[in-house]
Chain A
Amino acid sequence: MLSQPSENALALNQISKTYAGKQVLSQLNLAVPYGSVYAFLGNNGEGKSTTIRVLTGLEAPDAGSVTICGDNLYAKRRSLLSRSARFVPDYRLLHRLGGLIDAPSLYPNLTAAEFLSIGCGIKGLPVSEIDRVLAVVSLTDAAKRLIGQFSLGMKQRLAIAHTLLGDPKLLILDEPTNGLDPSGIRDIRQLLSELPASTGTTIFFSTHNLDEVEKMATRFAVLKDGRIRFESDIPSWKAAQQFNMTLEVGDANAAHTVLLKHGFQSTMTNPNTVRVEGLPRDEQPRLHALLVNEGIELFQSYQSKTSLEQWFTNEHTD
């Protein structure tokens, strides 16, 4: 099977999905460039998991197409028992991706190595792959331990190791750091951040952890009501963001009055401190000059950017 040249490792085109009369995904369009770490955000119930299941062949869409490295994942076929044609995934394309959907699916009666041998056996890979992926997630010492004895973090690592079997070109991960302790989160973030550069793997992941998106992702999209409401690369988003400033002044009351009068979103936090929110970068010099010109003593000012979490909460929650 030949792939058509494509800029994108993954592309969704007009994907729609309905469950029990409710439209979960509505004409969803998404393009994940090769080598990117693409984060998929959304509140609970917005359709993230459904999207992940469509991308991994678990759920066929009602309409639209999914292409993996240029090839269509779904084809419309009529089964012997069905009156209408349905989308059926091409299982051969699933060699190109590693998928982690929701909580890890593991067999507690098997050891870690035995569990990974399932994936090796199905994909026709050599057993040396088992040692390789266990080393990547730092579980080499646990290869012969029963999965039933694993902690939640170890299970998550093992599930990620399973997705890495065969060095797939595309990883599709549903909340990959779920259940990990802080050091585990750090390790997995580092691993996933380095994979595109070291192996050329493209990563598409869903998450609730917005701090993770800022630290790991190169692009992100926000899903709401089954549609993409916002999409951007992280550098562009950061450049467009506003700042918050904290000002230590001689008279906070006077400073607050002046700032409000000139249209700044000011709050007085104590008799000597004023906080200004949503300040565009090019307004900062004007703010300093304004206070000085009004005779207000300005001892110190420091700024912080609006975090992705604040931005998401302000823009995309009801």
Chain B
Amino acid sequence: MNIPINPFPGLSRLLAVECLKLKRTSTLLMVFALPLLVALFSTGLAVKSQNLAGFDAQAWQRWWMGVMALWSYFMLPMFIALITGAINGNEHKNHGWRLMLALPVNLYSLYIAKLLLGVLLTASALLWLWLSGLLATLLMTALGAPGETEYGMVLLSAMPALMLTSLPVLIIQHAVSWRFGNIIVPLSVAVMATMGIVQIGSSEYWVWYPWSYMTMSVMGGTEELRHHAVWLSLAVATGLFWLSTLLAASHKRAG
């Protein structure tokens, strides 16, 4: 019988296994389709409502901010709910918990591996969003707008901040979809939370509302506010990570 020297599968091996489970599913399609949809939608609006030939630097800036606003206000929370729902739903619908937990797998490692996969997919989607934006600017240039990529490059530097501020929401949605097999539950959480972003995000209570951290990191009025959102996110994410990992592993019962 073959017993490996290290009988505990490392996170890298678990992560590879979790990636494999997404093969031939629509999850990877979402990573590419949703950001592209946002970029194309914004492009469509610009083409319809503006004179592309008069697209100056401010117009480009507004266009890019529109893309980021649409993504961070609405699409990113829903995207996170969908991918975490898909990653954990794989086990819920196929009785995969029975299979995984009867293998020599540490429950904590499994939880973290699935969370890491969610982080990687979200990061990939952000990168693709930026690339989609660049492609959209090329398209608008071809349609008559003057070329302008400077603000797009500036926004590239905002992507890491957006990624970090999405961590608390990722952890919350991952914990919800780990616990509940029905996709309706995490989606409902995402929909209800998204509805509060505009009102709560523009008030002093935004610090208590993780879903507003993402928009604050991009749309926050001052640089100080944007940095505050990032550091707050890291602190909240750290606490949520430990708490959710302990709770999830303690109460997981194979279905």
Contact = CB atoms under 8 A, between A and B. Distances in A.
Interface of A: 53, 56-59, 79-82, 91-96, 99, 101-103, 105-110, 114, 117-119, 121-126, 129, 146, 162, 166-169
B96 A94 contact: no
B144 interface: no
B103 A94 contact: yes
B21 A122 contact: no
B1 A102 contact: no
Contact of B98 (A80, A102, A123): A102
A105 B17 contact: no
A92 B2 contact: no
Given A93-B104, A99-B102, A118-B20, 17 more contacts: A53-B254, A57-B101, A92-B104, A94-B103, A94-B104, A102-B95, A105-B98, A107-B94, A109-B25, A110-B24, A114-B20, A118-B21, A121-B13, A121-B16, A123-B2, A123-B104, A124-B2
Interface of B: 1-4, 6-9, 13-14, 16-17, 20-21, 23-25, 90, 94-99, 101-106, 246-247, 250, 253-254
Interface residues of B, dominant DSSP: loop
A124 B4 contact: yes
Contacts of A59: 253-254
B94 A91 contact: no
A281 to B, nearest CB: 44
Given A58-B101, A95-B7, A108-B94, A125 B23 contact: no
Interface residues of A, dominant DSSP: loop
B17 A168 contact: no
Contacts of A108: 94
9 contacts: A58-B102, A59-B254, A102-B98, A105-B96, A107-B90, A109-B21, A109-B24, A123-B2, A124-B7
B87 to A, nearest CB: 13
Contacts of A117: 20
Contacts of A114: 20, 23
Contacts of B96: 105, 107
A3 B105 CA distance: 20
